[in-house]
Structure 1
Amino acid sequence: MKINRPKILIPAGVALVVVLAMAMLYALDLPPFKETREIKAGEVCGSLGDAARAETALKQILPKKSEYSSRDDTTASRVDEKDSSYGTYCFIYGDGKQIAVARAELVEYENTDQWVKEVVEQLVPASSLTPFDAGDRAVASSRIAAVYSPCLSRGASRYLSVHVHLKERGSASDSEIRSGLIELVENATAYAHSRARCDLPSKVNSTN
């Protein structure tokens, strides 16, 4: 009698490959074996404002990673009324990869359309943006939220331009991520408004 053994060996070979692949993923601490979690308040940039509020918003928009870190970079500090320079960056990392960037700076454009074009549309398509109520102009999508807010009543660079750009998103819906980005940029704007010594109302809703 003829025994057809190759039909048994092929599935066994496939199973061996799968086992070896899973063993490699486990050894390298990669999904599905790599433990993931959400960002914590202690891992949030100071320039994003109130840490508890920022933590809640970041949990809503960021992908889950095994570790997070963030770094503040101050490019200019407004030290007195004669100074018209203020600028900060916040870089957020997940598993060593940059996943979000927030930027705040004192600027002034001829009109808000120019601000949208030169600041926001450099990062995301214009067609993805929809307005929300904040500052003199505010737009958002599921990748960015940005606010152009009054700051100084006189001198140069009288407006705060603040945006949060999401480079890698979580699994929430587009509307949920957009909402979280808006919460985050409003929080960051309130912080920048205080640190830049603004003397005009920010026109931004915030607990700060």
Structure 2
Amino acid sequence: MGQCERAGFGVLYVLGLPPFEERKGEIKASEVCRTLGSSSSTAAALKRVLPDKSSYSFDDAMTDLRTDDKDRTYGTSCFVHGDGQMLLAARTHMLELELKQHGSATEADLRDGLASLARNAALFAHNKAKCDAQSKLTQ
């Protein structure tokens, strides 16, 4: 093989062109973290938001499982890796306080209010962490 041929293969490799292109890994519903909910909708959402990687792995954990109303804590975590890099971390944590009253809000108002608080907290964290990717969260 001549120098020009080797250089040509090197360029193909660097550009990720055939026969050296990297294949995008598959995100299978059967492999995603069960703590993220419905596996089919979770897999579809992950396919939309995660960067292309040749392989994905999922680490799912549940701690302090609440077995009855006397248990005061519950926690889950899901870590998603692609090609050895962490791409996503999703954690939940419930701590039951004695704040069982929520005023006169309806269930729909409570859900909307809590979603708004979670979105605002995410926006605040995104800004304070000086993330370089633009936030796609709405106010």
TM-score (norm. length: structure 2): 0.61
* Equivalent runs, 1:1-208 vs 2, <5 Å: 15=4, 18-19=7-8, 21-22=10-11, 25=13, 31-32=16-17, 33-107=21-95, 133=112, 135=114, 137-139=117-119, 140=122, 175=136, 178=137
Contact 2:72 2:96 in 1 (8 A): no
Give the Cα separation in 2 of the matches to 1:134 and 1:40. Answer: 33
> Cα RMSD between the aligned structures?
3.6
Contact 1:45 1:71 in 2 (8 A): yes
Give the Cα separation in 2 of the matches to 1:101 and 1:39. Answer: 16
2:102 corresponds in structure 1 to none
TM-fit CA distance, 1:98 = 1.4
Per chain length, whose mean CA-contact separation is higher, i.e. which structure has more relative contact order (CA < 8 Å, sep 6+)?
1
Structure 1 residue runs of 5 or longer lacking an equivalent are: 1-11, 110-132, 145-166, 180-208
TM-score (norm. length: structure 1): 0.43
The structure with the largest alpha-carbon Rg is 1
Query: 1:9-53: per-residue Cα shift (whole Å, max 9, x none)?
Result: xxx97x567336347x48xxx934211144221221000000111
Give the Cα separation in 2 of the matches to 1:80 and 1:107. Answer: 14
Give the Cα separation in 2 of the matches to 1:68 and 1:79. Answer: 32
Distance 1:44 1:80, change over 3 A: same
Give the Cα separation in 1 of the matches to 2:96 and 2:8. Answer: 60
The letter for the 2-side match of 1:135 is: L
Give the Cα separation in 2 of the matches to 1:138 and 1:35. Answer: 36
The alignment-based identity, stated in percent, is 35
Give the Cα separation in 2 of the matches to 1:134 and 1:51. Answer: 26
